[in-house]
Amino acid sequence: MVLPKYTLIIPIYDEEETIAALYGRVSALMDRLDAPSELILVNDGSRDRSLQLIRELHDRDPRVCYLSLARNFGHQIAVTAGLNYVRGRVIVILDADLQDPPELIPAMLEKWRQGYQVVYAQRTQRRKEGWFKRLTAFVFYRLLKQLADVDIPTDTGDFCLMDRQVVDLLNAMPERNRYIRGLRSWVGFSQTAIQFERDPRIAGDVKYTFHKSLGLAINGLVSFSKVPLRISTYVGLFAALVAIVMMLLTFYWRIAYPASPLTGLTIIVVAIFFLGAVQLLSIGILGEYIGRIYEEVKNRPLYTLSEVAGFEQQKFSVPQ
Ligand code: UDP
Ligand code: MG
């Protein structure tokens, strides 16, 4: 068997409704490529018939390989698992719901041939995604761009093409918190964008619940920025300033109006709540960072696999 030149990675979580259409469009694209390709489907602990459908595809088409994670580890880890098993020289990551059109891949490959090692797809429009998702995504990507230590381009998801050189570097990174679009920017190399309009999901429900999206957002911010820690310092300084001003005012009142007793129950209650909020917030922010240190120190594997198929001639690079 010749090793494939192109590797496509698709994470699958409860996608029984999209798999057939997905395979149709992706395999049509693979047929048109100029060299052999492989499709790595990563089953992220689906609870529906996804794994069964993936197995059938693998039996039918030898280009389809799959990994099955032993439970739901989340999108970023599923993609990471796929990256650990790539054999191609060029790697493309896309979503299962066809929101990332496979038809864009030839244009991405063209950029790769021009010498770019990373070609990420940038969304110009998100048709038919709710206003809440669009608004929060808009704010988040801009906030991240402002705060992050590396330049993470706005409105880009995980849909991208990467050269094997970059993927090898990503695979060598030991960190547990995988915010792939951040790590991808962090490695450097020549990167370029390709614009596209994000289509609506073809079938099924969004698998990124609000909770998961919020988790991803916090992860992105905390993994790539220390600004939140600094914010609590600034808020602390501000609270100290307010306290000093209040002390001086009290002092002044005591001297200027010795007759009037100072009563300020409201002010005291407000101050207690304000300081309490500042302290809890700061502890929370600290906790986010400490929790991450804890995760890293435990040094558990990133994921566990229950099934692997289609990589017969593969060096099994099991993650640390
Ligand atoms: N996904 C996953 N594990 C999860 C959640 C999502 O592998 O825990 C996959 C899902 O099957 C899809 C991709 O991640 O291929 C993106 O999910 P979705 O379309 O629901 O989210 P969106 O990015 O459109 O908000
Ligand atoms: Mg989607």
Q: Judge contact between 39 and 10, C-beta under 8 A.
A: yes
Fold designation for 6-130+151-205+302-309: Spore Coat Polysaccharide Biosynthesis Protein SpsA; Chain A (3.90.550)
Residues with CB under 5 A from ligand 2 (ion): 95, 97, 99, 201
Mutate which of 95, 134, 201, 211 for ligand 1? The one with the most ligand atoms within 8 Å of its CB, which is: 95
In the chain, the percentage of residues whose pLDDT exceeds 90 is: 40
Q: ipTM strictly over 0.85?
A: yes
Q: Are 247 and 267 in contact (CB under 8 A)?
A: no
* pLDDT tens column, 141-200: 888 888 888 888 888 888 999 999 999 999 998 888 888 888 888 888 889 998 888 878
How far does the centroid of ligand 1 lie from the alpha carbon of residue 179, in Å? 14
CA of 75 to the centre of ligand 1 (A): 6
Residue 75 Cβ < 6 Å to ligand 1: yes
Contacts of 107 (CB under 8 A, 6+ apart): 194
Atom 24, ligand 1: residue with shortest CA distance: 206
Residues 6+ apart with CB under 8 A from 282: 232, 235, 236
For residue 94, the ligand 1 atom closest to its alpha carbon is 15
**What is the pLDDT at residue 84?**
94
Q: Where are the alpha helices (DSSP H) in the chain?
A: 19-32, 50-60, 75-84, 105-113, 131-147, 164-172, 180-186, 210-224, 227-256, 265-298
User: For 212-248, how does the pLDDT look when each residue is reduced to its tens digit (9 = 90+)?
Assistant: 888 888 888 888 888 888 887 888 788 878 878 877 8
Measuring from atom 14 of ligand 1, which residue has the nearest CA? 75
pTM: 0.77
Q: Which two tokens stand for residue 40?
A: 């790595």
Higher pLDDT pick, 273 / 83: 83
Residue 254 CA to ligand 2 centre (angstroms)? 64
Mean pLDDT of 252-277: 76
Map residue 50 onto helix, strand or coil. helix
Mean pLDDT of the chain: 86
What percentage of the chain has pLDDT greater than the value 70? Answer: 95
